[in-house]
Amino acid sequence: MKKEVLLQDAPGTRVLVLGNEAIARGAMEAGVQFATGYPGTPSTEILETLIEAAPHLGFIAYWSVNEKVAFDAATGASFSRARAMVIMKHVGLNVAADSLQQVKLIDIAGGFVVVSVDDPSGVSSNNEQDNRWYAKFAGLPALEPTDLNEAREMTRRAFEISEELHMPVILRSVTRLGHMTGDLELGRMEPRREKPYFDSSRAWTPFPCLEPERRLKDKLRRAGEVLERYQFDRYEGTGHEKIGVVGAGFAFNYALEAVDTLGLRGQVALLKISTVNPLPAKIIRRLLSHVNHVLVVEDVTPFLEEAIKGEAQELQRPIHIYGRRSGALPEVGETILDDVVLALADIVRREMPEIAIPKDILPSPERTEQAEAVKKLIPRRQIGFCAGCSHRATYYALSKALQNAAIKDPIIVGDIGCYTLGFYPPFSLLQTMTSMGASMGTANALAQLNPQRKVIAFIGDSTFYHAGMPGLLQIGHQQRPVLVIVMDNSVTGSTGQQPHPGTWQLAHERTVIPIEDIARAYKIPHVRVVHSFQVKRLIRELEEALSLDVPAMVISRQACVLEPGERWRQKTIVGKIDPARCDGCLVCIEEFGCPAFIAADQDGRIAIDPVLCNGCASCKIVCPQGAIYFERLEQIK
Amino acid sequence: MRREAQNVRGPINLIIAGVGGQGSLFASQVIAQAAIQEGFSVRIAETYGVTQRGGPVYSQVRIGHQVYGPLIPKGQCHLILGLEPIETLRRAADYLAPGGSVAINTRVDAPLETKLGRQPNLSFETIQEELRKLGVGEMLAVDARAMAEQAGGAGSANMFMVGTLFAFDLFPLRYESVEKAVKAITRPRFLEGNLLALARGREYALSIKNLRGG
C-alpha cells in the first residue's frame, strides 16, 4: 500500500493526500464492503486506493470492464445488504445510465454510493459534462464536497443517507478536487459487522413502474429533510447584506477567496451549497430574503444559478443573479479565481461604490501586455508518446504500410486512450474520435458508405473490452471489410496501468481472455498478433491486411513502458547515432518523433539522449543512412 | 536559522514548471510533505493522465496557515521552480508576481516542432532576458542535470532543483523537513541519489552570493 496511513484507525491524524484518496478514505471509514468501477482520469485514484486497501481491511474491490458492468455489480452488492460504491469519471455515468435509471426506483438494501468525477475544461476528456443534471434527471440525492475533509466526511455520510432513504446517493466531485493534494484529517473507522445476504422473499425490480415512480418522488422529498440534518450547506451573513456570493461544491473555494481578496469579508453574504439534489431551498431563501445581487460560482453549467433564479422569482423579489448564464462568468471552461474576482469586483463597484476595492488585485494592463508579448515567443509543446511507447512504432508501421500499398485516401478512425495522440504530428493519421469503443460501429458504417476507400479502425485493448466488443461483433456479423488495429499494451495505460481481462502479466492469478480469441469467435477471418517493436514484420502484416477485402484484425502487442518495472526490463540497450553517417536529414524526427532524439550540434546532426531512450530499438529502421545503432547499457556507463 | 516569509500576504505561491516525465509531480509532493510536517496547510493543483505525456506540466503549490483553493491567481506566484526553461517562461508570463523569484534549470528541451524547424527555438539566454523583462527579482540558473549526474544520477535533477530553493528567503521550509520528506516518499533504489542531489542543490544555492538580476 502506497500510503499505509490511509489504513490506520487514527482519528485526528493529519496526512497529505489527493482528493481522490480522501474519498477512498471516507468509504473505508464507512466500512465499504464492495467497490468497483472503470478507470478514467480524473477519477482513477479512488478505486485504485480502495483496491490496494481491500486485502488489508477485508472488503471486495476490483476493476470492472466498463461502468455499466461496474454499476450492475454494485447493485448486486447493495441488493445483498452490502455497502457498495461504484466509481467513474463523468462520461462513465453515460455508460451506466441505463442501470442508474432503473435502480433508482428500487428500495435498495445496503448503502449505495455512485461517485462521478466531472472534468471541467475537459482536461482529460472529450467534453465537459455536468453530472449534477443526472441527479436531477434520475431524481436521486446528490452531494458535492468543497474540500478534502468534506470529501472524506461526505462520502462516509453518503452511505448512511443511502440506507436511510433506501436509494443510491450520487457524489459529484471535479478534477480540481480529485487531483488536488492537501492535508486531510482522518476520521474514525467503523467497520460493518452485518454479513451480506440476499433476501429472496421480495422482488428487486421497478416493474410495473408507476408505483415505484411515485415512491421515488416521495423519497426525494424526504431526502430534503434528511440532508438538512447533515448541514453540508452553510450561510454566512447578518441578514442585511445587499450582495450575496454563492459557491457550489469545490467552486465555493473561489467564492471565498474572491471575497477575501477584495477585502469584502463581513460586507457580503456567503452561501456554500454542497447539496446538489434536492436543492436546499430553505437556506437559499434565507439569502434571497435580503440581497439584491447574487453571484453564483459553480463548475460547468449554470445548474445552481438557474435554480436560484427560479427561487427568486417565487419570492417575487427583484434580485439580479450573476453567473455563467448571465455572462458574468465564462460560459465554458473550469472556474478560475481570477474570473470570480473580476465578476465580484464589477458588481461591488456598481452596487456598493462606497467600498474601496484594492487596486493591485490583478496584474496591471502593462504587465498583461508584457505577458502576451512573451507568450508569442514561446514555442508550442504538444503532448506525445513516451520514449519506448509501442503506439509510436505501430503508427509508424501503418504510415509505411499505407505508402507501400499505395493507399492514397484511407479513412482512419480513432478511439479513446493514449493512442488518440495519433491525431497529432508526426503521424496525424486519425480522423475521428468520439466515445469509448465507438471506432468499431463508426468504421462499420464508414466502410459501408465509402466502399471505394480503405477503412482502418484503431482501438486500445482496454477500450476494446470496455465497449469495442459489441461493435466488432457487428463487423463480424456483417463481414464488413474493416481493418481493425488493436493497440494492445496489455493494461489500461492512459489512466496509469490498471489491469483488464487481457492483462497477461496476471495470468497466474486470473483467467486471461486474449483479444485474438474473441475476434476469432466473432468470425473475423484474418487475425494476426505482432510484437510492436518488430517494426519490419508489423509493416508486412499491415500491408497484407490492407490488401484484404474481408474484416481483418492486426493486434500490435507490447507492454506499456510506464508499467512498473517495464522500463527497466526494456532498457538493457540504449540507442546511439553514428555522427559520421548522420547527414541531418531529420527523417527520424519528422517520421518517428521520439523525444529521445535531440539536436547534437550546429550542423543539424541528431543524437539520442541516453537518459530519455528506453531501448525499445523500434527507431532502428527509421534512419535512411542506417546511422542508428544500439549498445548495451553498461557499455555506455 | 529558520527563514521567515517576508512581505507575503496569505499563502506562499509556488509553481513547479517542466515537461512530463521530469518529476515535477514528485518535487511538489516532497515540498508538500515537508510543509505539513511543519504545521502548514498545503494545496497543490497538478496534471495527471495522458496530459502528462511529454507535454507541458506544472504544479501549483500553495503553502500557508489558511489555504482555500489550489489555483494561483495570475501575477501572484512568488517563486517558480523551473525544471525546463521554455516551460518556466510559459508559466512566468502569466503567473510571476512583480519581483517574484525563479530557480531555473538551464537545459532547454526543445519541442518536436522546434526540432523540425517549424517554429523558432528559444535559447536559454533569450529566456533569461524575457524573464528579466517580466520583472523577475532573484534568479538562480544552473544546469541541474549536469549537477545531478555528478551527484549520482540524472534522474535526481528535480531534487537538485528543490535544493536550490533554500537560496530564497521566502521559501518557508526547513532543510531537515524537506530531507525527511524525500526519505519518506522516495523508492529505496533512488533514495541515495535523491538525498545527495538535494544536498548538492542546497550547497550550490547557498554558495551563490548575489541572486539579483540572475
B123 touches chain A (CB under 8 A): no
Residue contact A379–B86, C-beta within 8 A: yes
**Three-state secondary structure call for residue B81:** strand
* Joined grid coordinates for residue A636: 555506455
Question: Does the pLDDT of residue B158 top 50, yes or no?
Answer: yes
* Residue A305 near residue A92, CB atoms below 8 Å: no
Specify the pLDDT at position B50.
Answer: 58
- Residue ranges in A547-598 assigned as alpha helix (H): 566-570, 587-591
Q: Mark the ranges of chain A whose per-residue pLDDT is less than 70.
A: 635-637
- State how many domains chain B has: 1
pLDDT digits (tens, 9 = 90+) for A582-597: 999 999 999 999 999 9
Q: Is B144 exposed, middle or buried (0-12, 13-18, 19+ CB in 10 A)?
A: buried
A4-187+205-230 and A571-636: same fold?
no
CA distance A309 to A36: 38
Domain ranges of chain A: 4-187+205-230, 234-362, 390-557, 571-636
Q: Evaluate the CA torsion angle B39, B40, B45, B50 in order and state its sign.
A: negative
The ipTM of this complex is 0.91
Q: Which residues pair with A484 in a beta bridge?
A: A457, A553
Residue B150 maps to a domain = yes
pLDDT for position A52: 97
* Whether the Cβ atoms of residue A108 and residue A165 lie closer than 8 Å to each other: no
In CATH, what class is A234-362? alpha beta
Q: Does A497 contact chain B (CB < 8 Å)?
A: no
How far apart CA A336 and CA B97 sit, in angstroms, is 18
A341 and B CB contact within 8 Å: yes
* B111-123 average pLDDT score: 86
Q: How far is B65 from chain A (nearest CA, A)?
A: 12
Residues of A in contact with B41 (CB under 8 A): 182-183
Domain membership of residue B2 (yes or no) is no
Interface contact A333, partner B, CB < 8 A:
no
Answer whether A16 sits within 8 Å of B36, measured CB to CB: yes
Does some domain include residue B7? no
Q: Which chain A residue shows the shortest CA-CA distance from B44?
A: A181
A637 versus B126: the higher-pLDDT residue is: B126
Nearest CB to B48; choose among A179, A256, A381? A179
**CATH number for region A390-557:** 3.40.50.970
Distance CA A426, CA A393 (A): 12
In a domain, B4, yes or no: no
Q: At a CB cut-off of 8 Å and minimum separation 6, what does A609 contact?
A: A596, A597, A598
- Residues B34-52 have a mean pLDDT of 83
- The grid cell for A64 is 470492472
Q: Which CATH code of 3.30.70.20, 3.40.50.300, 3.90.1300.10, 1.10.150.120 fits the domain covering A571-636? A: 3.30.70.20
We report the CATH number of the domain holding residue B101 as 3.40.920.10
Strands A293-297 and A243-248: parallel
Which H or E run contains A536? Answer: helix A535-546
Domain assignment present for residue B171? The answer is yes
**Which H helix or E strand runs over B59?**
strand B56-64
User: What sections of chain B are H helices per DSSP?
Assistant: 24-37, 85-95, 112-115, 124-133, 144-151, 157-164, 175-185, 188-207
pLDDT at B206 over 50: yes
Contact between residue A287 and residue A183 where contact means Cβ atoms under 8 Å apart: no
Residues 83-102 of B with CB under 8 A from A: 86-87, 89-90, 92-94, 98
B window 3-22, beta carbon within 8 A of A: 10, 19-21
- pLDDT attached to residue B152: 74
| Residue A147 CB contacts under 8 Å (≥ 6 apart), including other chains | A177, A182, A250, A253
Work out the pLDDT band at B54, boundaries 50, 70, 90.
confident
| Architecture label for domain A4-187+205-230 | 3-Layer(aba) Sandwich (3.40)
- Residue A240: CB atoms within 10 A of its CB come to 8
Q: Does A586 touch chain B (CB under 8 A)?
A: yes
- Chain A / chain B CB contacts < 8 angstroms: 178
Alpha-carbon distance A100 to A75, whole Å?
Answer: 9
Q: Read off the amino acid at residue A322.
A: Y
- B151-185: b or e for each residue (b if 16 or more CB lie within 10 Å)? bbbbbbbbbbbbbbbbbbebbbbbeebbbebbeeb
* Domain membership of residue B84 as a residue range: 12-207
Integer CA distances (angstroms), A586 to A175, A335, A594, A613, in order: 39, 42, 12, 17
